Amino acid sequence: MALRPTPMARVVLTGLKADRDRILSYLHDQGVLQVEPIGKEGLEELLPERAGPVDREVLEQQSRIRALVQALPPVPASGRERFRDVGELLAAARAIPIDEEVRQAKRREDLLLTDVRAAEEELSLVRGYAFFGGDLSLLRAQSVRSYFGEGAPDAFESFRSELGSARFEFLLETQPEEKTTRFVLSVPRERAELASRSAQRTGVHLVPVPEDLDGTPAVLAPRLERRLSELRQELAQVRAGLAGLSRQWYGKLLPVEEQLNVEARKSELIARMGGNRDVFAVEGWTPRDQLPVLEAGLERLTGGKSLLLVVPTKEEPPTLLRNRPLPRIYEFFIRIYSLPQSGEIDPTMVFAVVFPIFFGVMLGDVGYGLFILGVCLWLIWRVGNPRAGRTWVPQSLVRFTSMIMPPSAMKQLARALLPGCLVAIGLGVVFDSYFGFTLGQLTFGRLNFQLFDPLSSTGVSKLILYTGYAGLAMVTLGFLFSFLNEIYAGHRKGAVAKVLWIGLAWVIALGGLALIHQQIVISPPNSTLFIYLGIGLALLVGVIVLESGQAAIEVMSVMGHIVSYTRLAGILLASVILATVVNQISVGLFHSGLLAIAGLVILVVGQGFNIVLGVFEPGIQGARLLYVEYFSKFYHGGGKGFHPFGGKREYTLAQYPAPGPPPHP
């Protein structure tokens, strides 16, 4: 288990100009070097590098091939290609001769789509206003403007009463089954603006009568149907032609596009490098454990004509977290808060262990745990299965939640809640709680396996005591990690101060418990009181001497942080009590005959509300206890993420593969 981010090294890589392209390809495929601008020491000996004509052609071909890929309909691609060098890549790009053919087909497709939409709208108008039996050309007189309109009957009446003039002529048709009134309106041209404003105010929709439609709706409808059919057939032919081009060329375009993207990233990298006529140099950060692999690969690639040097620096390295798959789920929470600096303790592992426990303790019910577990599993499947289609979840709710949190983050959160749901189910068995019911209630007294009653006076006392000890343990762990940070940084005084803080926290906690259990008597004072006061004052003086006088104020903060963990018991008890009250009211109404329906409504609404609280309260409060009471003891954050030069390959093969997997970013 790694307690710190991956150690990083600042390196300078120099090589021959003739090997630059191969070296950059190798660095890209390994993905282990975050490239930084060349330092001023390097610029004293080297000049900034500039892109050449080949790099400019790469960018031109990248734009061209990308446009072709976006224009053609996608088809499945199989197999991968390897391009030996940029010359072979550019030759492959130039050999794709379909630019003009695709351009003309797409232009024709766009024109046809516009014509199809126009024809569909005209046909819809003609069908919808077939009750007007005259020639539509009669509606286009010089002195009037004519409109097709529709709206709800009450909106139409408001619209007509607002106009209120005999100079407005209506021909209308009411459709009760659709609760819609359709009408044809002719108005003097000088009053057309008045009619438009009135329609907007009353919620009536007006469409000007098209200028190019002549004839009656009965004659126009078949003509427009034939025209629309012809347009759709031509559109299908154009798309079939594009599909044929795609079947022939799409599988060749994808590898070329991907390799051009690689070359474009290499060209962008050149601006950060230095060089002269014969050599070049690049600086950056790499994981220390990747140095041997990187050196061996470069040695083999260049025949020993490159040099990789580790340079000393006081600059803060980027942060690379390498946690195992299960703890890695909880990096989501760490990144939301802030990445650790390279020399700090990585809190991901502790978060991965403690957060599910806290969540499960505050939920503590088999029914709620199973329900939230099912929802989380459904979310993971739904987000990871884009072909799932529509579901029973209202689309308005889906859009609202997507505004708050993107689907990928929602999936991460669902995965993070799974272990907590399992803890809640286990504790629910111990508490004998199933949506607030006990097995005795569900089986009419036949079964009762309650191992711990959280609502009894003894149970409440034990819960508060256990959560208080959990707070003491977390505060102690926080100071312990702070001690390790101080040792790592070489601050001996700070390390000793953290040890004293641990002792002071324990004295405060144990002294408080002794006072509660009357082992300490304040008046008259006993010897135990003097022992605790003496040890506590000695530790406090030591902390003040090693840190500052502000440490005396921090004592109250430490006490508050320990006590704050008792909210675990408070939220659990609130959930249990709410569920119990809802169940008792509902069961009481079930036995009241006609009020049984009201009891069912109260049960469903109350339990639903408690489930929502069961997601948000344990989730928010569990994270808060870690962010505030735990992180504040040792964690500063502010780390910069490690972003190596490189990218994924789907359709091409690495040009210069080397042993060893790349690090987890």
- The pTM is what? 0.77
d(CA 351, CA 627) in angstroms, rounded, equals 10
Give one word for 203, left, alpha or beta, with left for phi > 0 and alpha for psi -120 to 50. left
Q: Is the pLDDT of residue 537 over 70?
A: yes
**pLDDT for res 109:** 95
104 has a pLDDT exceeding 70: yes
Q: What is the mean pLDDT of residues 512-534?
A: 71
How confident is the model at residue 330, as a pLDDT? 93
**Contact 552/545 with Cβ under 8 angstroms?**
no
The 10s digit of each residue's pLDDT in 588-633 is 887 776 678 888 889 899 999 999 998 899 999 999 999 999 998 8
Flag whether pLDDT at 260 surpasses 60. yes
Q: Which residue has the tokens 């605790």?
A: 532
* CB neighbour burial string for 470-488, b if at least 16 within 10 angstroms, e if fewer: bbbebbbbbbbbbbbbbee
DSSP three-state, residue 326: helix
Higher pLDDT, residue 97 or 382: 97
Query: Does 524 sit behind a cis peptide bond, omega within 30 degrees of 0 on the bond before it?
Result: yes
- Does residue 561 or residue 387 have the better pLDDT? 561
User: With pLDDT > 70 as the criterion, what percentage of the chain qualifies?
Assistant: 89
* CATH 3.30.70.2750 domain span(s) along the chain: 111-230
Q: Work out the angle at residue 562's Cα, subtended by the Cα atoms of residues 580 and 558, and round it to the nearest 5 degrees.
A: 150
What percent of the chain has pLDDT above 90?
41
Pairing state between β 180-188 and 144-151? antiparallel
Q: Which of 111-125, 129-143, 198-212 has the highest mean pLDDT?
A: 111-125
Q: What is the pLDDT of residue 386?
A: 56
* DSSP code per residue over 107-122: HHHHHHHHHHHHHHHH
* pLDDT of 516 above 50: yes
At residue 657, does pLDDT exceed 80?
no
Q: HSE, CB side, 13 Å, CA atoms: give it for residue 460.
A: 9
CATH of domain 111-230: 3.30.70.2750
At 583-595, the pLDDT tens digits run 888 888 877 766 7
- Is pLDDT of 660 > 60? no
* 3-class DSSP state of 596: helix
Paired tokens of 41: 């020491």
d(CA 60, CA 67): 11
Residue with tokens 């459709």: 175
Q: Is residue 30 helix, strand or coil?
A: helix
What are the backbone angles phi and psi of residue 322, rounded to the nearest 5°? -130, 75
- Would you place residue 662 in the very low, low, confident or very high pLDDT band (cuts 50, 70, 90)? very low
Confidence grade of residue 661 (pLDDT, cut at 50, 70, 90): very low
Cα–Cα distance, 186 to 94 (Å, whole number): 61
Write out pLDDT tens, residues 190-207. 888 888 888 888 888 888
pLDDT score, position 665: 47
User: Is the C-alpha dihedral spanning 90, 95, 100, 103 positive or negative?
Assistant: negative
How many angstroms separate the CA atoms of 351 and 363, rounded? 18
Report whether 208 contacts 186 (CB < 8 A): no
Q: Strand, helix or coil at 73? A: coil
pLDDT at residue 296 greater than cutoff 50: yes
Q: Is the pLDDT of residue 580 over 70?
A: yes
